Amino acid sequence: MAPLKKTAKTPAASPAGQPTPVPQPPRGKGPTMTPPKSGVKVRMYRQGLGDCFLLAYPTNHPDKAFYMLIDCGVILGTPTPADKMAKVASDIEEATGGDIHLLVATHEHWDHLSGFIQAGDIFGRLRVHKLWFAWTEDPTDALANKLRKDFGDDREALRAAVGRAFSQGSVEHLRSLVEFFGEVPAPAGGPGQTALAAAAAGDGKSSNTEAALTALRTFAKAQGSDPEYRHPGEPPLSLPSVAGLSVPGVRLYVLGPPHDEKSLRSINPTAKGQEVYADSSALTARTAFRMAAVPADQEDSTQEKDLRERSFPFDQRLRIPLEEAASIPFFAEHYGFEHHQSATAPGTPGPVKPPFHPPTWRRIDDDWLGAAGGLALQLDSFTNNTSLAMAIELIDSGKVLLFAADAQVGNWLSWGDLHWSVDNGKAGKKDVRIEDLLARTVLYKVGHHASHNATMRAKGLELMTSPDLVALVPVDENIAHNVKHWNQMPFKPLLTRLSEKARGRVLRVDTYLPDAPPANADAKAWAAFKKTTRAETGFFEHEVSG
């Protein structure tokens, strides 16, 4: 779906090329985001490539709303990220009157969590009453602890790879993936932090996803609340009763992440036969890479020393230490020690002075990075697959809102094993399965910025058969293509099918809302959609009646 063109009725554009916002009420006059009398209002912020959704529900108090925030971040590499996230956080504060009754953090990626660092002073003022994580963050869960240990080891190895690589060009493909976790190391010998990493916090301070999760716990702790860890298939949940508020007529189904390592590592529909690298005692591409990336003085055990020794391409007797090779003229001249003073360039008399760069093609220093690309992609996709995915049901109407975060194949497929027994009034109990929830889905938060492997086809989008389906896509194509060089985000065939299934009712953060219905839209349905949808510079807002 190409960015939509403005029509004659579209508000005049600001210098940034976005519609002029409607003036907001001054602060101090109470919440400015009011829910419908029944149902829910959903606000998708337009900060760029990243997720931030604010939901407002009616409560047992007619003049008070229940506010639920799902994630709040933007991808590293976004221009002026701290300014953007401060505007988002300020709007959240104004919209809610300072109360976040439930905050849901779906998974540990920077584009979902960065705002809690970049706008930490504003979020620190808000009252976060309840905090939900997936079970993968539970410190009492044995599998969660194992996965976090493996995840941490891989992430540190990738950071070390970026920092220690002889040629930074050889790790450019890794850098953008490591940036999903915030802080990225500078090249070896450089400052402790890159400009991008400094810009992540907006103030030059170190920041990463771990710091964001800690900040969230701190915000909730200030209200006397500890995180709650959600599990797939647990009994349907009500929104928590807090501050004297309760929300009738809403049920939440936790879909994922699956409590199964094999499913979590199923990340791509074309990945059959791909090795998992789960055996720490075997010399695999994954373990060899980690041994090469992590400095020798950080080895913990005899086993690790053995793995490191076996990971080298040559026996010890055939190796020349790097420091020794740098002092030998032949190696200095032909193998790329660019600051060596005694090397002699071919055809030139006297010692070579920097910035002469001798040939580097002969060196194998960075050859071990060939395994790093696959490991980085696995780590990125594995983290996506740990997404806390939820279906929110409006009981009276049966309408469902699907928030799948960045769930990938294994997460989606695991939903087929779940079922719930719920009250069905005079009919007694009824069995609820994912096929039923998808058939009643009227709002789909499109997974992972509309990438190719985060929306299932036959067992996902094709089962969303409601004529009222609306899709929300938190994607910025310019950032994805021109900054991150992810040319398949958004995935065009997926966007085409989304538009067909939703009859044109697809909201992207980087596009306008047209006045005239798209070619594949029903005119009457489009008119109804426009009445329940609001477009501003900073957000789209859509109302789902109960």
pLDDT in 10s for each residue of the chain, 546 residues: 444 434 333 333 333 444 434 334 344 467 899 999 999 999 999 999 999 999 999 999 999 999 999 999 999 889 999 999 999 999 999 999 999 999 999 998 899 999 999 999 999 999 999 999 999 999 999 999 988 887 776 666 666 666 655 555 555 555 555 555 665 444 444 333 333 334 334 443 446 888 899 999 999 999 999 999 999 999 999 999 998 999 999 999 999 999 988 888 776 554 443 322 233 444 444 454 454 555 555 545 555 555 455 555 555 555 666 667 777 777 666 665 554 444 444 455 555 444 444 455 445 454 445 555 555 555 556 678 889 999 999 999 999 999 999 998 889 989 999 999 998 888 889 999 999 999 999 999 999 999 888 899 889 999 999 999 999 999 999 999 998 888 889 999 999 999 999 999 999 999 988 888 888 888 889 999 999 999 999 999 999 998
Q: Which of helix, strand or coil describes residue 100?
A: strand
Helix (H) or strand (E) holding 39: strand 39-45
Contact 450, 494 (CB under 8 A): yes
Contact 108, 145 (CB under 8 A): no
List the structure tokens of 352: 């070579």
Alpha carbons 93 and 183: distance in angstroms, whole number: 27
Q: Residue type at 301?
A: S
Instruction: Write the pLDDT tens digit of every residue in 257-266.
Output: 999 888 887 7
Query: Which pTM value belongs to this model?
Result: 0.74
Q: Are strands 228-230 and 250-256 parallel, antiparallel or unpaired?
A: unpaired
Instruction: Tell me, rounded to whole angstroms, the distance of Cα 493 from its chain centroid.
Output: 21
Q: Is 12 exposed, middle or buried (0-12, 13-18, 19+ CB in 10 A)?
A: exposed
Alpha carbons 425 and 464: distance in angstroms, whole number: 25
Instruction: Give, in order, the Cα–Cα distances in Å from 54 to each of 319, 403, 525.
Output: 58, 12, 25
Alpha carbons 32 and 93: distance in angstroms, whole number: 9
Neighbours of 60 (CB within 10 A): 12
Q: How many residues does the chain have?
A: 546
